[in-house]
Amino acid sequence: MVKKKLILRQPFKGKWAIISGGSKGIGKATAKIFVQLGGNVCIVARTLETLNIAAEEIKSLRVDENQLVEVISCDMSNMEQVERLFKGYIKEIGVPDYSFNFVGISYPNYTDRLTIEDYKFHMDTNFFGQLNSILTILPYYMERKEGYFINMSSLAGYIGVMGYAAYTPTKFAIVGLSEVLRNEYKAYNIKVSIVYPPDTDTFGLHEEAKTRPEELNIIAEKAGLMQPDEVAEIIIKGVLKEKLYIHAGSSKVYWRIMRLFPKLVHKFTDGDLKKARKKLGKII
């Protein structure tokens, strides 16, 4: 629950956010808080029906009836669509002050069972789905000498775990891209945040469970599960503090250990996998 003090401050009054992946999960939860804190949002996803339902839910949280909630139905992995629809939106409404790039999917499987199409699909959605919007909005931010990109990574953006061979490189790629943007456009007053959520109870996570290798189900039992509203609150607070790295739940501890003692993290992940395989009676 967002603190009353923050709601009273209305830090996003008069501001616009465009949130790709904003019709469900962490994206929708972020849109809800942005509106509670006085802002206007445009949520982007493919399915118009889900977008409209989400928009009604977000609208119900407005603190002022002049606040706007817009929707754009767009496949973020398609640059032609993103350019056309985003430029149209900017012409009509203006340059969004905040660009939340949250589109992402995950269909884990054993590395040798994933097809080349699976790898490309993950990269198209998770990396290009964010890059397309960044490249479209960047020239406007450069001209304005102001802007903010909030890009979605994951714990898989710094730890490689079995089963996620298609997903993990996309999240490492988002970190690399974001770090370059931070350095290259700092002089243009363009800010960047990278978000690292742990497992969060969303549609996407339930989808993931359908193809998860069985070892992962055992390993995941150990890790906690966060709610999208909790993660969104941490994201919004991180953005208000202009943090480059926004961690939720266990992410910060793992990230620190991974940076300082990678071998220790490898020892943990290898041990977890060994135990899971033993439990399943898998002898390799």
Ligand X SMILES: NC(=O)c1ccc[n+]([C@@H]2O[C@H](COP(=O)([O-])OP(=O)(O)OC[C@H]3O[C@@H](n4cnc5c(N)ncnc54)[C@H](OP(=O)(O)O)[C@@H]3O)[C@@H](O)[C@H]2O)c1
- The one catalytic residue in 153, 154, 178, 251 is 153
Q: Is 167 a catalytic residue?
A: yes
Orientation of helix 168-185 relative to helix 129-144, angle to 10°: 10
Instruction: Give the nearest distance from C-beta 26 to ligand X in angstroms.
Output: 4
Single out the residue of 113, 253, 131 nearest to residue 181, CA to CA.
131
Closer Cβ to ligand X, 86 or 102, answer by number: 102
Catalytic residue among 98, 148, 164, 167: 167
- Taking the complex as a whole, how short is the minimal distance between the CB of residue 206 and ligand X, in angstroms? 8
Least spacing, CB of residue 49 vs ligand X, in Å = 9
User: 158 an active-site residue?
Assistant: no
In angstroms, the CA 122 to CA 163 distance is: 13
Q: Which among 24, 28, 32, 171 is annotated as catalytic?
A: 171
Q: Where are the alpha helices (DSSP H) in the chain?
A: 4-9, 25-36, 48-59, 79-93, 116-122, 129-144, 168-185, 203-209, 214-222, 228-240, 251-260, 262-279
Shortest Å distance, C-beta 77 to ligand X: 5
Q: How far is the CB of 241 from ligand X (least distance, A)?
A: 20
Q: Looking at beta carbons only, is 105 or 265 nearer to ligand X?
A: 105
DSSP codes joined into one string, 85-109 = HHHHHHHHH---SEEEE--------
Q: State the Cα–Cα distance between residues 123 and 193, nearest whole angstrom.
A: 20
C-beta of 10 vs 73, nearer to ligand X: 73
Buried b (16+ CB within 10 A) or exposed e, 67-94: bebbbbbbbbbbbebbeebbeebbeeee
Q: What are the residues facing 151 on neighbouring strands? A: 101, 194
The nearer residue to ligand X, 38 or 226, going by C-beta atoms, is 226
- Please check whether residue 72 is in contact with residue 85, taking contact to mean a CB–CB distance below 8 angstroms: yes
- Residue the block writes with tokens 């969303």: 202
Q: Which is nearer to ligand X, 103 or 159 (CB)?
A: 103
Min separation Cβ 168 and ligand X, Å: 11
Kindly list the residues in this chain that would bind ligand X in the complex (CB under 6 A): 21, 23-27, 45-47, 50, 75-77, 102-106, 125, 129, 152, 154, 197, 199-200, 202-205, 228
Residue by residue, DSSP assigns 8-23 as HH-TTTT-EEEEETTT
Rank residues 23 and 38 by Cβ distance to ligand X and give the closer one: 23
Residues forming the active site: 153, 167, 171
